[in-house]
Amino acid sequence: MRRVALSQYLVEQARSGAAVTPELGLLIEVVARACRAISVTVGKGALADVLGGAGTENIQGEAQKKLDIISNEILIEANEWGGYLAAMVSEEMEKPHQIPNRYPRGKHLLLFDPLDGSSNIDVNIAVGTIFSVLRCPDGVGEPDERAFMQPGRCQVAAGFAIYGPSTLLVLTVGRGVAVFTLDKETGSFVLTTERVTIPEDTREFAINVSNMKWWEPPVKRYIDECLAGASGPRGKDFNMRWIASMVAEVYRILTRGGIFMYPRDARYTEGRLRLMYEANPMSFIVEQAGGAATNGRTRILDISPTALHQRVGVILGSKNEVDRVTGYFAR
Ligand code: AHG
Ligand code: MN
Ligand code: MN
């Protein structure tokens, strides 16, 4: 495979008709460089005293890890000066972060989960960064929460980094999904998969089964049928995975198919995952790779948001399996 770095990929995408303006291209490259910096910091672990809790809580009422805060600061500092952003939203900050007056403002809105799967960081399991890009509505100088209230189908780009055995960047600008591998010697993200396609069928499901007592009936029915295996209505055996890092589950599904489920339930009545910077970017990527993503009842990318940190049920992955689950909800 020819060696193409992220910059060249973005230029080639723009030439072949993708809506990658120079401003959006710069935004993506800066976010990628921030992810590289996060990868280096995450990789130092105990050597840099960055593990463990920060002793603080975020807007979600969740205990923050030191690396949640460090990753958030890396992304804020990297993206403030470039002149392509009107504001940023983070899982770790209650309100939108405004661009300081000393810098020019641009036409994009950046949303991110700076460290996804952070409950895994202290046990050395893959974590990542998820990001989503929207256009700032025309004429909005100081974007407040309302400027971000756009359904996921309005995203102009989305991606995630995964800090695992290798550091990967998964990216869509609306014309398929590409994967880049970080060359740690040169520091550049090199294109290693030009176009990802999720198999429409699978024998692998991912769900936190400890939540079974709270599930809605269609979810219980679907998982029971998977567990019944070859002698049950599905006529085939299934495998299960649950890593508790959405980035790792989604990357596995992009590479070999599968269904990831974190549905709303009697405990998480709105869902566990956040719409704007987890479900929307991951749904955009999954659909661009030929998969599907719903909350059981509605296509996630069609949900009109009402709050920055709102939660949503998530069922995404191999199209035929997601359609089956969504069909069970419709009965
Ligand atoms: P975050 O670390 O950003 O809060 O995200 C964690 C999310 C997601 O990555 C993962 O799939 C899910 O939480 C795991 O939830 P459980 O711990 O309830 O299994
Ligand atoms: Mn997350
Ligand atoms: Mn997070």
Q: Which of 193, 222, 254 delimits the end of a domain?
A: 193
* CATH number of residue 109's parent domain: 3.30.540.10
Q: 254 CA distance to ligand 3 centroid (A)?
A: 21
Is there a single domain that holds both residue 35 and residue 174? yes
Q: What is the pLDDT of residues 84-108, one digit of tens each?
A: 999 999 999 999 999 999 999 999 9
Among candidate residues 285, 279, 282, the one with its CA nearest the CA of residue 310 = 279
How many domains does the chain contain in total?
2
Is there a single domain that holds both residue 129 and residue 248? no
- Give the dihedral sign, CA 73/78/83/85: negative
18 pLDDT more than 90: no
Q: Which of 143, 164, 193 delimits the end of a domain?
A: 193
233 pLDDT more than 80: yes
Is there a single domain that holds both residue 45 and residue 154? yes
Is there a single domain that holds both residue 318 and residue 248? yes
Is there a single domain that holds both residue 47 and residue 187? yes
Tokens of 244: 């508790």
59 pLDDT more than 90: no
| Atom in ligand 1 nearest the alpha carbon of residue 116 | 3
pLDDT value, residue 132: 99
Cβ neighbours around 4 below 10 Å, total: 17
Is there a single domain that holds both residue 218 and residue 136? no
Q: How far apart are CA 288 and CA 19, in angstroms?
A: 15
Q: 115 CA distance to ligand 2 centroid (A)?
A: 7
Q: 139 CA distance to ligand 2 centroid (A)?
A: 31
* CATH number of residue 232's parent domain: 3.40.190.80
DSSP 8-state class, residue 96: P
2 pLDDT more than 90: no
Among candidate residues 5, 13, 170, 30, the one with its CA nearest the CA of residue 110 = 30
How much is the average pLDDT of 251-270? 98
Q: How far apart are CA 53 and CA 144, in angstroms?
A: 30
Nearest CA to ligand 1 atom 17: 244
Nearest CA to ligand 1 atom 2: 117
**Residue-number span of the structural domain to which 185 is assigned:** 6-193
Report if pTM > 0.75.
Answer: yes
Q: How far apart are CA 53 and CA 331, in angstroms?
A: 44
Is there a single domain that holds both residue 37 and residue 179? yes
Q: Which residues line ligand 1 (CB under 6 A)?
A: 91, 113, 116-119, 208, 244-246, 262, 272
pLDDT band at 60 (very low <50, low <70, confident <90, very high): confident
Q: 235 CA distance to ligand 2 centroid (A)?
A: 34
Distance from the first to the final alpha carbon of the chain:
47
Percent of the chain with pLDDT over 70: 100
Q: Is residue 199 part of a domain?
A: no
pLDDT value, residue 69: 97
1 pLDDT more than 80: no
Is there a single domain that holds both residue 179 and residue 285? no
Q: Which of 137, 171, 193 delimits the end of a domain?
A: 193
